[in-house]
Structure 1
Amino acid sequence: MSLAKWRILLTVLPLTGLYGAAKLALHRLGWEPWAFDSLTGSLFGAATFVIAFVLNGTLGDFRASADMPVQLANALETIQDSNQLVAQANADYNPQPLSQDLVAIAQATLDWLQAEKPQAETAIALDRLNTSLAAMLPYTSAPIVARAQAEQAKMRLLITQIGISRDTDFVGPAYALLEVFLIGVVGALLLIGADSFSENLVVSCLLFTSFTYLLLLIRDLDNPFQYNGRTSVDADLSTLAVFCDRLRQV
């Protein structure tokens, strides 16, 4: 089993154990003055609605962000296709410098995201691409080079968007509301009594686990470019890694 799949649940379970101990202590002290009624039902309903609303928006942002590395790899592949086309049509043209520059861009991006190296390295690698594209001009028509430059501009935009997505907390203000609702729900679950304590304990522990899990999941989805070993959901960078490996073997 993948540990990343269960990381959030494994983080929540100790908190659930503490909640269960607190619930048991309050029950033995007789501090369960509430009963489940329409007001507490409204609290749970409102908390569920807010979490679902924020989770839906965060999932949309995550899907858009997760597609960026694929688009970046596709832009690199498109330039490499043009490079190979010119090499096939002109025996005097050397495609290796441009291929090496493309590998450098992909590797600089991987190092920036995974090894926390400076983002400036990716910009430097993109700038070096201009020299190789200029060397292609005597061997091909201007539209092919213009197409490569368009992909270069697309890569600059994607890298900028990845940087913004990585460094910006998009739903930060929403966390305050989510945490207020979580505190309210936990407080209500602790104070609500029932005829069967065992049933009350099991149901309230499940609800506590669900609400806490969803809050941590939203925090995780809000930054899909962490790669710090402590997150469960990150954008897949395998397309960039495969591109680097394939061009190095050419």
Structure 2
Amino acid sequence: MKFITNRTIILKSFIAAIAVLGIKNFIFKHLSLYGQDFHDLIELADISIIFTGAFFVFGLLLAATMTDFKESEKIPGEIASNLEAIKDWIYLAFRAPRTGTSDLCRQELNPVFLRQEMIAITNGIVEWINSNGKDSNVIFPLIRKSNEIAYYFAERGVDKEAIKGIQENTNAMRKQLTRAYSISRNNFIKPAYTLLHSILFIVMSLLLITKFKSPSADYLVTSAITYLFCYLYLLISGLDDPFDIFNGDTNVDLKPIDRFRQRLVSDFLV
């Protein structure tokens, strides 16, 4: 199953190439207009410039989407780093001298509570990234749970540097998740997608009515061009939202957060 989900673009492009070949050979070869077969209306040399221009436009749009994708690739690692830093600040809170004379300041810190909070925050971030809706009403209250740890420490006279460190890393993590939310929710400009759809329609239509010198050239060129253009379109669509769980090929790698979660569960305040 993982083999298929990680190669959806290849499979969809291959299916599109087979479909165009089938339509051309089983439908269009039986149609004619004033005695002229539909599949032989124009010569390949007459439209080669169109294919060249179409590839150029697809390349420009691909370069534009790659910028956001490169930025998105950094986000899981940065989130994991901030979570790791918050974990270290919690360790410091247990070891550093405490100040204050209130009853709460005399109490022992609760490791079970802190462990559960960190695991809940980490699991919530992973679940939100893997969700379809990317609901802001879920992720931002979840991030505030990290500040609840800072408030918990402040009430108990914990070292101020630990409190400050937790808040700074929480704010940095909020910015990173806000950026992930923005990338996921704000797709590429609609006129650009309209242009892509128009180019795909024109290219596919021209391939269906283009005459080739031999049947083998017909099969090879039609399938190859269809495959390449469909692949480019699906790649651009996938890179436009690298946090979309349905785009297995172009998802950002959440391994840094997953590895942190494994370490957290196995050894944090056990």
Residue 58 of structure 2 contacts residue 233 of structure 2 at CA under 8 Å; is this kept in 1? yes
1:139 aligns with 2:158: yes
C-alpha deviations, 1:199-241, integer Å up to 9, x for none? 122112111111011111211221111224x642212223223
Q: Percent identity?
A: 25
Residue 166 of structure 1 contacts residue 225 of structure 1 at CA under 8 Å; is this kept in 2? yes
Q: Cα gap change, 1:17/1:125 in structure 2, threshold over 3 Å: closer, same or farther?
A: closer
Aligned AA for 1:153? N
Bigger Rg, structure 1 or 2: 2
3-state DSSP of counterpart to 1:139: coil
C-alpha deviations, 1:4-51, integer Å up to 9, x for none? 3321222233322221122224345522121133x5122111100111
CA distance in 1, matches of 2:196, 2:144: 43
Q: Cα gap change, 1:17/1:126 in structure 2, threshold over 3 Å: closer, same or farther?
A: closer
After superposition, the CA RMSD in angstroms is 2.4
Consecutive unaligned residues in structure 1, runs of 5 or more: none
TM-score normalised by length of structure 2 = 0.81
1:112 aligns with 2:128: yes
3-state DSSP of counterpart to 1:71: helix
Matches for 1:149-168 after TM superposition, within 5 Å: 149-168=167-186
Aligned AA for 1:134? Y
> 1:196 Cα deviation (Å)?
1.3
CA distance in 2, matches of 1:35, 1:170: 35
3-state DSSP of counterpart to 1:218: helix
2:143: which partner in 1? 126
Aligned AA for 2:44? F
Consecutive unaligned residues in structure 2, runs of 5 or more: 32-36, 99-107
How many aligned residue pairs are there?
247
CA distance in 2, matches of 1:135, 1:227: 35
2:203: which partner in 1? 185
CA distance in 1, matches of 2:161, 2:92: 13
Aligned AA for 1:35? E
> 1:76 Cα deviation (Å)?
0.8
1:23 aligns with 2:43: no
C-alpha deviations, 1:113-159, integer Å up to 9, x for none? 3245854333223223333213434232x344223211111111122
TM-score normalised by length of structure 1 = 0.86
2:57: which partner in 1? 50
CA distance in 1, matches of 2:145, 2:50: 57
1:81: which partner in 2? 88
CA distance in 2, matches of 1:214, 1:43: 16
